Amino acid sequence: MHQALLVPEVLLEIFVYVNTIPSTSTQKLLAALARTCKIFHEPAMDLLWTEIHGLEPLLGCVARLYPLIYRSGTRWDDFFSWAKGVEPLSAHEARQFLRHSSRIRTLNIKRTHPQLISVIPANVCVFPRLRSLSLSTAFLNLFLPHTLHQCHLLTVDKGLQSFVTRCIALEHLDIHIDTLSYYDSATELSLLSDRIRWCTRLVTLSCPMLDLATWKHLSCLPTLLKLEIDQGYDDPPSLPEQDIVNFSPFLNITTLSFRQLFYAANIIMVIQHSQFPSLKEFRFEADYLSSEEAEELFHALSRCKACRTLEEIIICSPDESGLARLNSEHLTSIPHFLCFTQLRTLQLMFCNSCIYLDNDILLQAMSSWPHIRTLTINCLDGHLSSSEVSLHGLFTALSLCPQLHTLRIPINIATIDVDPDAEPIQHTSLRTLELLDTSQSQIADAETLARIISAWLPCVDKVESMDRTWDEVNKHFKSSAAATALYVAGAS
């Protein structure tokens, strides 16, 4: 054996590399290395057991259970079939079960076997070196060492109290709960909020809606970088405005996301009284958002202290019963976002209402966002879209954003206001173009329009659309692109 293999650091680097080989036989390779010699055994076994999916590998160490788990044709996904009626572990078998538990760093459990591991005392930490955990909170105490940094929970119950006493190092918490089962009772909301307030080192948090006291706790948490609220509720507790004004500024949060919201007013109020000076990504998705609330949200976001940091904004109300129109007025959203000079992505998508857009607004927007790469201004109900952007206005605005890759906006092409024989100013970064023609009329000269777009946008091979308006134009794209390529070659 080469002397280098006697150096633990060198040996570990070699084994780590083996563990990264994209092969279904990686575990077999590590198992073979573990059997080779005593020097190889410990580092190979540590890597072999570092990440486990389910308790079956550990239960398979129990001689009595091994043939039940690994018999031919048995799948671990169907382990209730083999575990049904099986006697609990004895004290001796529990030691076999725990033989390799101290090596495990990442554990994902969809279902537990409470009847099998009931012999293990509740105060015993089964996985002392565990850093990442995904499971329901049944028997949670068995899986919560002081070293746990990341946890993904599927339910909320009294087991969450374990965070208070054990998970002092918890940094990443993800709680994803089935909406219907969660909101049958407000008790879980109170329990969830109370437990999260005990987490003082959180870096990322993804969870259902929280109460006011927890919002205040998070607003002054210096470690928090990413906050995702993934579920709302139908009957939220009110957040008195006089209690919100004293929020701390959420000083270091870079990502703020709200999804599956049923009720947006409280969230908008929180944003109105917060600062988010480090914010880079903002996502807001609500099923029910009135026009007034939408305008309030746009205004509140523009008042945050993120003008020099915010790079991505995604706001949508996808449900057809969601955004209620107010006297058929258009939303005036674009001016609110002109202050975000570092913007890379802006996506505004609504049903039953549309965002006002014309040549001047589009030109002002593109001049304010020199780094923009994705711009989507969509009414998800195409029949309601209205736009005063012309083809000439579109090309003029594109000249100000050389990095733009994806563009989806409504446009009015009732009149083609670009000379098809004029020398084009080509935009070579745009790859995806989706245009919704708001003129409500047939395109008069599809071939000319295709030739113009191909000349100005040489990397666009078709115009995407929610309807069939552009089908005839797209038929001419291939021939127009070939003609443009010949023109460019001749000019050079």
pLDDT score for 327: 41
Per-residue model confidence as pLDDT tens digits over 251-298: 999 999 998 777 788 888 888 888 899 999 999 998 777 888 888 999
pLDDT band at 375 (very low <50, low <70, confident <90, very high): very high
The verdict on 43 and 85 lying in the same domain is: no
pLDDT score for 77: 47
The verdict on 140 and 155 lying in the same domain is: yes
Name the domain boundary from 141, 170, 199: 170
Residue 98 lies in a domain: yes
Residue 321 lies in a domain: no
Helix axes 391-398, 359-368, angle to 10 degrees: 10
The verdict on 6 and 59 lying in the same domain is: no
The verdict on 35 and 84 lying in the same domain is: no
Per-residue model confidence as pLDDT tens digits over 53-77: 888 888 888 999 888 887 755 544 4
What DSSP letter does each residue of 330-382 carry, written as one string? PB--GGGGTT-TT--EEEEEESS--B--BHHHHHHHHHH-TT--EEEEEESSG
The verdict on 27 and 116 lying in the same domain is: no
Supply the range of the domain harboring residue 55.
50-170
Asked whether the beta carbons of 192 and 173 are under 8 A apart, the reply is no
pLDDT score for 489: 52
pLDDT score for 324: 46
The verdict on 148 and 61 lying in the same domain is: yes
The verdict on 91 and 19 lying in the same domain is: no
Count of CB atoms situated within 10 Å of the CB of 408: 19
In terms of Cβ atoms closer than 10 Å to its own Cβ (0-12, 13-18, 19+), residue 163 is buried
**Could you give the CA distance from residue 288 to residue 324 in angstroms, rounded to a whole number?**
8
Residue 201 lies in a domain: no
Per-residue model confidence as pLDDT tens digits over 303-328: 999 999 999 999 988 754 444 444 44
**Could you give the CA distance from residue 323 to residue 317 in angstroms, rounded to a whole number?**
6
**Residue 410, φ and ψ in degrees, nearest 5:** -80, 150
pLDDT score for 436: 85
Name the domain boundary from 132, 152, 170: 170
The fraction of the chain above a pLDDT of 90, given in percent, is 27
The verdict on 64 and 163 lying in the same domain is: yes
pLDDT score for 281: 97
Asked whether the beta carbons of 188 and 207 are under 8 A apart, the reply is no
pLDDT score for 479: 66
The verdict on 91 and 138 lying in the same domain is: yes
Residue in the block written with tokens 């605005």: 397
Residue 317 lies in a domain: no
Identify which has the larger pLDDT, 11 or 105: 105
Mean predicted lDDT score pLDDT of the chain: 80
Residue in the block written with tokens 């919560």: 144
Q: Which of 73-77, 121-125, 339-343, 390-394 has the lowest mean pLDDT?
A: 73-77
428-456 average pLDDT score? 87
Residue 211 lies in a domain: no
Residue 27 lies in a domain: yes
Identify which has the larger pLDDT, 362 or 113: 362
Nearest to 470 by CA among 432, 438, 443: 443
Helix axes 26-36, 8-20, angle to 10 degrees: 150
The number of folded domains in the chain is 2
The verdict on 143 and 153 lying in the same domain is: yes
What DSSP letter does each residue of 401-467 carry, written as one string? -TT--EEEEEE--SS--S-TTSPP----S--EEEEEETT-S--S-HHHHHHHHHHH-TT----B-SS
pLDDT score for 98: 86
CA 348, 349, 355: angle at the middle one, nearest 5?
70
The verdict on 143 and 84 lying in the same domain is: yes
User: Per residue in 169-207, is it b (16+ CB within 10 Å) or e — as a string?
Assistant: ebbbbbbebeeeebbeeeebbebbbebbbebeebbbbbb
In terms of Cβ atoms closer than 10 Å to its own Cβ (0-12, 13-18, 19+), residue 245 is exposed
Residue 423 lies in a domain: no
135-142 average pLDDT score? 62
For the cut 60, the answer to whether the pLDDT of residue 476 exceeds it is yes
Per-residue model confidence as pLDDT tens digits over 160-204: 666 656 677 789 988 876 554 444 456 667 777 888 888 889 999
**Could you give the CA distance from residue 27 to residue 451 in angstroms, rounded to a whole number?**
57
For the cut 90, the answer to whether the pLDDT of residue 228 exceeds it is yes
Residue 348 lies in a domain: no
Identify which has the larger pLDDT, 103 or 354: 103
Name the domain boundary from 125, 154, 170: 170
pLDDT score for 376: 93
The verdict on 63 and 158 lying in the same domain is: yes
